[in-house]
Amino acid sequence: EADIYQTPRYLVIGTGKKITLECSQTMGHDKMYWYQQDPGMELHLIHYSYGVNSTEKGDLSSESTVSRIRTEHFPLTLESARPSHTSQYLCASSEAGIGGRETQYFGPGTRLLVL
Amino acid sequence: GESVGLHLPTLSVQEGDNSIINCAYSNSASDYFIWYKQESGKGPQFIIDIRSNMDKRQGQRVTVLLNKTVKHLSLQIAATQPGDSAVYFCAENFQGAQKLVFGQGTRLTINP
C-alpha cells in the first residue's frame, strides 16, 4: 500500500485565480507524475519528474507548471485558472525499477471546479 | 507509437458471475503489464501485474492472462461482487520506457 497524499481533495475557485495542488509521498520514490482525468475517462499524463530538480512535460499539453525541490513533494500550479481546467488531477509516484519497469501508486486525487 | 486500448468501454455482469475485462496493446516490446481499479471519486488502485515471461498470474479472486502472440491482456474477476464496480485500466511498460502507457478504461457495473 502506497502512502501518497493530495490536498485539497476538492477545490472550487473563480476564473483567473492562481492555485497550487499539493502532492507528497513518504516512500522516497524517485519518479512522480501528474495526470488529468475527466470522471471515468482516460488518464492523461501532463507532467512527470525523475527526481529532484527534474521535470518534464507529459503527453497532454497543459498550462500548469510543476516543481520538484524535494523528493517527497511535487506541487502543480495553475497561474490563472479557467473553466477549461475543471477536471480531476491525480498524482502518482513510483520507484525506478530494473530496465525502467515500474508500478505507479496513485493519490486520491484533487477534483477542481473553476467557475 | 505504442498504444494500449480496451475493447469495450462498459461491461455489465450479474452479481456472482465471473467478469472478464479485455485489453489490447500494440507494442510488441512491452513486457510488463498492470491492472488498476478506480472507484468513483478515488485514484486508481493497483490490482495485479504480470511480466511477459508469464502467461497467467493469480491473485485473490483475480486472474490476469497474457497472450503475447495476439498482444492481448485480460483481467478475470471471480464471483463478481458489488464492490467490484469501478473503472478498470490496463497499463504497459517495456525496458527503457520512461513511463507507463495507460489504456482507455472499462467501466464494470454489477447487476443485482
Q: What mean pLDDT is predicted for residues A65-81? A: 96
Amino acid at B81: Q
- Give yes or no for a contact between A66 and A50, defined as CB atoms under 8 angstroms apart: no
Tell whether A43 is within 8 A of chain B (Cβ): yes
Q: What's the CA gap between B46 and A89, in Å, rounded?
A: 18
Q: What's the CA gap between A33 and B93, in Å, rounded?
A: 15
Least confident segment among A4-8, A83-87, B39-43, B84-88 = B39-43
Is A40 in Cβ contact with B99 (below 8 Å)? no
Tell whether A61 is within 8 A of chain B (Cβ): no
Instruction: Report the range out of A6-10, B90-94, B97-101 with the highest average pLDDT.
Output: A6-10
**Residue A37 pLDDT exceeds 70:** yes
Q: What mean pLDDT is predicted for residues A2-30? A: 94
**Residue A2 pLDDT exceeds 70:** no
Hey, what's the torsion of the CAs at A69, A70, A72, A75, to 10 degrees? Answer: -20
Amino acid at B12: S
- Among A42, A48, A107, beta carbon nearest to B43: A107
- Identify the band that residue B98 occupies on the pLDDT scale cut at 50, 70 and 90: low
List, for residues A40-50, the tens digit of each pLDDT value: 788 889 999 99
Q: What's the CA gap between B79 and B90, in Å, rounded?
A: 21
Strand partners of residue A9: none
Tell whether A1 is within 8 A of chain B (Cβ): no
pLDDT of residue A96: 64
- Identify the band that residue A100 occupies on the pLDDT scale cut at 50, 70 and 90: low
Write out residues 62-91 of A within 8 Å (CB-CB) of B: 90
Q: What's the CA gap between B83 and B60, in Å, rounded?
A: 14
Query: Quick one: which of B98, B78, B88, B6 has its CA closest to B39?
Result: B88
Under an 8 Å CB criterion, which residues of B touch A? 31-32, 34, 36, 40-46, 49, 51, 87, 89, 91, 93-100, 102-105, 107
Is A102 in Cβ contact with B43 (below 8 Å)? no
- Please report, for residues A74, A96, B44, B85, the alpha-carbon distance to residue A91 in angstroms, rounded to integers and kept in the order given: 8, 16, 10, 22
Q: What mean pLDDT is predicted for residues B12-28? A: 93
Is B95 in Cβ contact with A101 (below 8 Å)? yes
